[in-house]
Amino acid sequence: MRIVVLTGAGMSAESGISTFRDNGGLWDQYNVEDVATPEGWARNPKLVTEFYNVRRKELLGTKPCLGHELVAKLEEKHAVTVVTQNVDNLHERAGSSYVIHLHGELMKVTSSRSPNDPRYIKTLDPEHVEVKMGDLAGDGSQLRPFIVWFGEAVPEIDRAVEECEKADMLIVIGTSLNVYPAAGLTRCVRPGTPIYLIDPKPVQWNSDVPVHHIMKGASEGMKELMSLLKIEN
């Protein structure tokens, strides 16, 4: 069976990663226009660079939660593609082998002139995650985070759509389904494809497609789903 797992901030929250939209989240501490837009970068690249340096150090102090591990365990019996809105590497660290990052990857940096040119995308060593002003990409421009900021195109969305169109099952974990274009992926599956939603909160589902809502957090919800799918966990 081909399974697509779409994950959002609620997935990584169980690992201690700060979310952006919840009360007390990062948007309460930072202005989104300052640290997550091309305009913010143009105004103050030093502030943006330091913001993501802190996020990387936070990530190094976290571990995948049980939910991440159970998503990886699905690969033992099924072909699994993870499509994540998260920029951390917790799915990979948990063992998932095919992960599509819609919003970029925190542990990578790239050219500020041509951010999606693969020649200039570089993975940072965990021992050296701090980027400084004056650190340059291969084209001579300042290194910037390999993050898809608000207002930028989402290069990986087409690949995600293709995976959803081929899916036999869609599992959605820890996302409000209010963030586009990711939210639109739920409409890309074939008619009749089962959709499971794991989220402890009520989620507004603007679709006539039926969904099985497991109102639990990522880890407990995945445990219940594995039981439903008769996969030992």
Tokens of 175: 């996302």
Q: Where are the beta strands (DSSP E) in the chain?
A: 2-7, 79-84, 99-101, 104-111, 122-123, 143-147, 169-173, 195-198, 212-214
Identify the burial level of 125 via C-beta atoms within 10 angstroms of its C-beta, where 0-12 means exposed, 13-18 middle and 19 or more buried: exposed
* Sequence letter at residue 111: S
Residue 107 CA to residue 56 CA, distance in Å, equals 7
**Where in the sequence numbering do the catalytic residues fall?**
103
Element (H, E) at 218: helix 218-228
Tokens of 27: 């948007």
Closest of 206, 196, 227 to residue 6, by C-alpha: 196
Sign of the Cα torsion 124, 128, 132, 138 reads negative
Q: How many CA atoms lie within 13 A of 4 on its CB side?
A: 25
Q: Identify whether 181 is preceded by a cis peptide bond (ω within 30 of 0).
A: yes
